[in-house]
Structure 1
Amino acid sequence: MERTEADVDWEHVQATPEFQQLRRRRRGFVFPMSATFLAWYLLYVLLADYAHAFMSAHLWGNITVGLVLGLAQFLTTFVVTALYVRFANRKLDPLAAELRAEYGG
């Protein structure tokens, strides 16, 4: 007989070492990556506000440092997303699958 979600003692699942390991792994990636991305974004905002000469320096034609760094913000978002997907596929999903298999969630 398959367990339903109501049959699972979620407090017990959260207390298991496997679940704690899953949380540690996720936090070990998400918190440093979020802090790094936010620091990078804050640097961009501060440069845009206080380093006008630097940000308006022309690199090629009408392409400025500010434009390149602004577009790099978008690129960074895609890179962080790809890194997280790769990390989750390799480190989080196998452990989550084990938990699902054991507790039928």
Structure 2
Amino acid sequence: MTTDTPAPAASTSGERYVAVQQSEDFSRLRKTLRGFIFPMTAAFFLWYALYVIMSAYARGFMDTKVVGHINVALVFGLLQFVSTFLIAWLYSRFAARQVDPLADKIAHEIAEKGDTA
């Protein structure tokens, strides 16, 4: 008497995810994200580094009064918050227009392949 073990499924979920990772859509999604995230991170880092360097080495300039007791250093510091919120807002718009549709397409394809497997 022999017992036949069932053949492994043609496509396991792990294989589906590897296939998705190697797909053109996923590569495009990663490239799209990197096209926004890396330059924006570099720009923010440089802007922050400018603030720190100016505070350390250009004290006279940073101490310049703008209005009343408000000096350039305080304005630069507040602009750090403004730039952070601006970047978050820009990313939200960018994601809604370019990242989310592509991510939804990939998720839909994974779901379809999961239903047929």
- On whether the aligned pair clears a TM of 0.5, the verdict is yes
Which of 45, 49, 56 is 2:56 aligned to? 49
Return the TM-score normalized by structure 1: 0.92
Q: Count residues with an aligned counterpart.
A: 100
Which of 3, 13, 21 is 2:28 aligned to? 21
Flag as ranges the 4+ runs of structure 1 deviating above 4 A.
none
In the alignment, the residues of structure 2 paired with residue 90 and residue 35 of structure 1 have an alpha-carbon distance, to the nearest angstrom, of: 22
1:3 maps to which residue? none
In the alignment, the residues of structure 2 paired with residue 16 and residue 82 of structure 1 have an alpha-carbon distance, to the nearest angstrom, of: 29
Identity among equivalent pairs (%): 45
Is 1:81 matched up with 2:88?
yes
Is 1:7 matched up with 2:9?
no
Q: Which runs of 5+ in 2 are unaligned?
A: 1-11
In the alignment, the residues of structure 2 paired with residue 73 and residue 85 of structure 1 have an alpha-carbon distance, to the nearest angstrom, of: 18
| Aligned-partner SS, 2:80 | helix
> Once superposed, what is the RMSD of the aligned Cα atoms?
1.3
2:3 maps to which residue? none
Post-superposition offset of 1:65? 0.3
Q: Which runs of 5+ in 1 are unaligned?
A: 1-5
In the alignment, the residues of structure 1 paired with residue 13 and residue 43 of structure 2 have an alpha-carbon distance, to the nearest angstrom, of: 40
Q: Flag the structure with larger Rg.
A: 2
Is 1:60 matched up with 2:51?
no
